[in-house]
Structure 1
Amino acid sequence: MVSLDTIRKDPRWRDPNLREVISMLSHPMDPVKSNAAAYLQHLCYENDTVKQDVRQLRGIPVLVGLLDHPKAEVHRKACGALRNISFGRDNFNKVAIKNSDGIPALLRLLRRTDDVEVRELVTGTLWNLSSHEPLKMIVINHGLQTLTDEIIIPHSGLRGDPNDPARPGAPEWNTVFKNTSGCLRNVSSDGADARQRLRECDALVDALLPALYSAVAKRDINNKSVENCVCILRNLSYHVHKEVPGAEKFHIQAANHSAKPGGHHKKKDESERFGGITSKGKRHGVGEKSGGVDLSRRSLPMKGLELLYQPEVVRLYLSLLKLSQNHNTLEAAAGALQNLSAGHWAWSNYIRATVRKEKGLPVLVELLHSDADKVVRAIAIALRNLAIDHKNKDLIGSYAMRDLVSNLPCGQQRPAKNLEGDTVVAVLNTILEIVSENLENARFLIQGQGVQKLVSINRTSQSVRETKAASHILQMVWAYKDLRHMLCKAGWNKTHFKPAVSSLPKKQRNAKQGNDDITLPLMEKNQGFLNFSHLCVVWRVWIIILCLCVELLHKNTIFRRIKVVLKEVFAFARRVSMFFMLCVCVLCVEF
């Protein structure tokens, strides 16, 4: 009996070359097509050279055409080949699939098949394609609602338990859901237009949140699907206070959130504790009304994008921060709180208060000890935004200052965790926010040995951003006159708090915008050193003096009076010179 093994033993047998395999994709017999596609799938597995050759030999359009083939074996093998071809950093293959109308073809196949393997291949290919920036909006335009309706909603449990429709169903963390949520995670990072499209996608947010609530309840949170869902919600929460329709109705004055001006807060009630519980057992929350939002009158249930910024989501993100061991999930949950607490609108005001009410501040502070750089950075920025609330600022200053300082390097020596420069700057900016207009927090900074590290960073750091941030904090601390005795007693003087002028940039550049939505105060243009205008004043005075000398000598022609006149002139000039030298010294040392 003739078999493939016996044929291979024939000396005339040889493996087909790549061009021949691609030509077999157009063979009239379906088994030949499917076998050729399967062979291409095998050849392209982790082989960038073969992938490039397939593209150059025009094999991709043929494979895309086979996605519409009625035979399951053919379109399944073709989709498997496209998944392997699209995987990797070679974006030319992704673009070639897009140019062959591969994205609409993949979505047509997804809508018409119930085969689990085919769905895994289709969603895996779309996940690969969505990693290329120019293709993200194309995936959204063609497939957002399809992916939501076909995969996210059915597998999230939103439609309820089949045996009891009144009860929410359990999410299915299978490969199809993982691939689809990974695809949506990629496209959600494309920009404001992409975020708004996903927010407005019917039932998307409604499906993701219940799935996460169920995962937390079952302690099943350390998987890729949960990570993807949290990252999607984090991205959709970015700039929500600016981008959601009607956001301007909830905007409030910044002064309502920040600490009271003047820099001297009354000592907070001794009964107030870090978790927000008083000795009488009452929580330091907020009232029913917050910044114009009357939460007690929410008669209609929230849905869609409104669910993103409801205070109830705080408990979800805090639970993830407590329970998850996945650094990406921790970063995303902290980033969601960071985004929701940014800006000055009523909902962010209530989010900040809810974090305090739910005892979330200790949870965040504990994660400052994480070994993951990105987690520490996200936590630091979240604390900075939460500190806009002056009660949070007091609590963070009291209980978290030492933890923040512990993440700072001592000059060129980095901490044991070896944090990146962006993370160090985030920690410095958080400290700046905490000590701003808050004398007690500045005192806690001094007591936590923060001045020593700040002075070292200011003088020895090679990073301009670190030096600038440390300099701002030092200037702010020295501005509190009530603390100068304490500083001098510890061996510090005014020179330690001067900005490192040589390391500052000549011109301020616009910093990259971050999720925290807060900017640093700018330094005065010529602050901290003698500038040209001061020298001009001195020179003008000397010119006036010389002119007076010439005029006096001209009027007094008698030689015997010249000596007397010169003596008076130089005495006057000496007094003027001493006066202006004193002024120059004062200008040089002022901040």
Structure 2
Amino acid sequence: YLQHLCFENEGVKRRVRQLRGLPLLVALLDHPRAEVRRRACGALRNLSYGRDTDNKAAIRDCGGVPALVRLLRAARDNEVRELVTGTLWNLSSYEPLKMVIIDHGLQTLTHEVIVPHSGWEREPNEDSKPRDAEWTTVFKNTSGCLRNVSSDGAEARRGLRECEGLVDALLHALQSAVGRKDTDNKSVENCVCIMRNLSYHVHKEVPGADRYQEAEPGPPGGATGSQRRRRDDAGCFGGKKAKGKKDGDMDRNFDTLDLPKRTEAAKGFELLYQPEVVRLYLSLLTESRNFNTLEAAAGALQNLSAGNWMWATYIRATVRKERGLPVLVELLQSETDKVVRAVAIALRNLSLDRRNKDLIGSYAMAELVRNVRNAQTPPRPGARLEEDTVVAVLNTIHEIVSDSLDNARSLLQARGVPALVALGAASQSVREAKAASHVLQTVWSFKELRGALQKDGWTKARFQSATATAKGPKGAPSPGGFDDSTLPLVDKSFDGEKPGSRDVIPMEALGPDGYSTVDRRERRARGSDPAGEASEKEPLKVSSVAVCS
């Protein structure tokens, strides 16, 4: 009856807490009668649902998390397991509870739910067919819980990465989903988001990362690098090989990389950054119609291609060799803002590979410029790109035209200069105007292009006026509560860093740590569309007799 009263009734929830009913319910999770345990857990699930965090804190303070974990270990009734994991999913949306859940429940959630339901086996029988993942409600709830806690910070990421079997099981579940072409469900979305979060800062945080660090890259070699572009590169975008070229020649043309020799197969957190995961993420980007899954898969590639370590170099090259660049370029046409943003920043990181940079300049420029135009004149009402997305697109354009005369020419051919000038003049955003200005300055710096620019009526003064517009009031904060320190400037060298030395490039500047590539819930506080972002299990509506699903 209490469970029924609490259904979407904030007043009743508050009254239960004030009357100290939560400690009583938590105590009943250890009751000898199974029906009492089930009813108590159902009430806690409804009481823990919603944005009001007071009930979540009260459940924590009376030992609710350890009690729920004990019940999960003991329960064999599927309905009880659904209730327990649903309650933990609700609790995991509360920041102070994330590490509590990891400390008390990670091992149990992994070994009781994620591993067995994923189909992954530690020691598979060579004669038996690999098992498929089971998309049960318990798995969905548990993966949703782990998705939330994986966004908590470095300590949380370390705990999840080092949990035996977790990464292996998540990857197996995703491979199963791709194999069955079942990539749009919530469980897949949760798994990809966890993988994206655990890929954040792998180049800094995983054990032994120092061994794989590479020297800071110098300037990419001026315009001559783009002049080395071969016609065979069109093969990366589905074009035909040049006449007379054999497969071996083509492989050499793609700068075949010698991966480190292994004495045994990669496992655990090592699987996060193996080049083999590229094919999985590209399959998800190709097959899925779930925008949250698309954003997370692109974000995972973004994270893995960041940083100055050997594995990022391999990831960038593997995306090219797996024909992943055209997949990403096509997604720049997405009608979903966050997908465009994630893809744009992934392309920026991937362009740190010179061959990728040349290809992206040739084949992505038109779509990037189209998004700049859409920032001024949306294709439909209410479809204007968010500030973060516009800046991400501009940053990517800047990256691919820097030190590349050919790519700068591609920008001119795509009618990018008029679009950039118009955006800089009309935008109400200081960040957008600044980013557009930096691109224009870079284009003007190519003396070989000034004749063509002047022929089209552009003058140096016009580019300088764009710079002045971008400056804005001295010391003025970025609009929307964003801090430029969490979103890199268009050219990192403006911050005193060497070009190409960037770290992970954010998708969003969220939270005090700027964990832009981990899955954060504060988007709702900023008024973004929460569709598909349910961070909690919906409450249970019950009759006086039975629980209704």
> What is the TM-score normalised by the length of structure 1?
0.78
2:492 is aligned with 1:520: yes
Equivalent of residue 333 in structure 1, options 297, 300, 311? 297
Contact 1:342 1:517 in 2 (8 A): no
Instruction: Name the counterpart of 1:15.
Output: none
Contact 2:164 2:268 in 1 (8 A): yes
Change beyond 3 A, Cα 1:503–1:227: same
Equivalent of residue 355 in structure 1, options 319, 333, 336? 319
Contact 2:444 2:450 in 1 (8 A): yes
Equivalent of residue 488 in structure 1, options 454, 462, 465? 454
- Equivalent positions of 1:20-169 (< 5 A) are 39-159=1-121, 166-169=128-131
Equivalent of residue 286 in structure 1, options 230, 255, 259? 255
Contact 2:433 2:469 in 1 (8 A): no
Aligned residues: 479
Change beyond 3 A, Cα 1:218–1:64: same
Instruction: Name the counterpart of 2:519.
Output: none
Aligned partner letter, 2:13: K
Aligned partner letter, 1:513: T
Give distance in 1, aligned partners of 2:133 and 2:178: 11
Aligned partner letter, 2:198: L
Contact 1:380 1:426 in 2 (8 A): yes
Contact 2:375 2:385 in 1 (8 A): no
Equivalent of residue 178 in structure 2, options 216, 234, 257? 216
How much has 1:488 moved relative to structure 2? 0.8
Change beyond 3 A, Cα 1:272–1:262: closer
Aligned partner letter, 1:211: A
Instruction: Name the counterpart of 2:332.
Output: 368
Give distance in 2, aligned partners of 1:149 and 1:517: 43
- Equivalent positions of 1:423-502 (< 5 A) are 423-498=389-464, 499-502=466-469
- Equivalent positions of 1:547-562 (< 5 A) are none
How much has 1:409 moved relative to structure 2? 3.6
Aligned partner letter, 1:450: G
Change beyond 3 A, Cα 1:523–1:168: closer
1:130-171 per-residue CA deviation (whole Å, 9 max, x = no partner) reads: 001111011001001110010000100112899987432111
2:458 is aligned with 1:511: no
Instruction: Name the counterpart of 1:315.
Output: 279
How much has 1:415 moved relative to structure 2? 5.0
Change beyond 3 A, Cα 1:455–1:523: farther
How much has 1:410 moved relative to structure 2? 6.9
- Equivalent positions of 1:242-321 (< 5 A) are 242-255=204-217, 259-261=220-222, 265-273=226-234, 275=236, 278-279=241-242, 280=245, 281=247, 282-283=250-251, 284-289=253-258, 294-295=259-260, 297-321=261-285
Identical aligned residues as a percent: 61
Instruction: Name the counterpart of 1:545.
Output: none
Change beyond 3 A, Cα 1:161–1:390: closer
Give distance in 2, aligned partners of 1:471 and 1:232: 36
Give distance in 1, aligned partners of 2:169 and 2:128: 15
Instruction: Name the counterpart of 1:205.
Output: 167
List gaps (5 residues or longer) in structure 1: 1-38, 525-591
Corresponding residue SS for 1:407 = helix
- Equivalent positions of 1:219-230 (< 5 A) are 219-230=181-192
Change beyond 3 A, Cα 1:502–1:493: closer
Aligned partner letter, 1:479: S
Give distance in 1, aligned partners of 2:402 and 2:470: 23
How much has 1:335 moved relative to structure 2? 0.3
How much has 1:503 moved relative to structure 2? 4.5
Change beyond 3 A, Cα 1:421–1:414: farther
1:336-386 per-residue CA deviation (whole Å, 9 max, x = no partner) reads: 000000111100000000000000000000000001000000000000000
1:491-521 per-residue CA deviation (whole Å, 9 max, x = no partner) reads: 111122113425414248762436x999633
Give distance in 1, aligned partners of 2:444 and 2:163: 52
1:181-229 per-residue CA deviation (whole Å, 9 max, x = no partner) reads: 0000000000111111110111100110011111100101110000000
Give distance in 1, aligned partners of 2:462 and 2:86: 57
2:144 is aligned with 1:178: no
Give distance in 1, aligned partners of 2:490 and 2:151: 20
> What is the TM-score normalised by the length of structure 2?
0.83
Contact 1:206 1:304 in 2 (8 A): yes
1:471-494 per-residue CA deviation (whole Å, 9 max, x = no partner) reads: 111100000000001111111111
Structure of higher RCO (CA pairs closer than 8 Å, 6+ residues apart):
2
* Segment drifting more, 152-161 vs 88-97: 152-161
How much has 1:86 moved relative to structure 2? 0.3
Q: CA RMSD in A?
A: 2.2
List gaps (5 residues or longer) in structure 2: 478-482, 497-549
Aligned partner letter, 1:272: D
How much has 1:99 moved relative to structure 2? 0.7
Change beyond 3 A, Cα 1:322–1:408: same
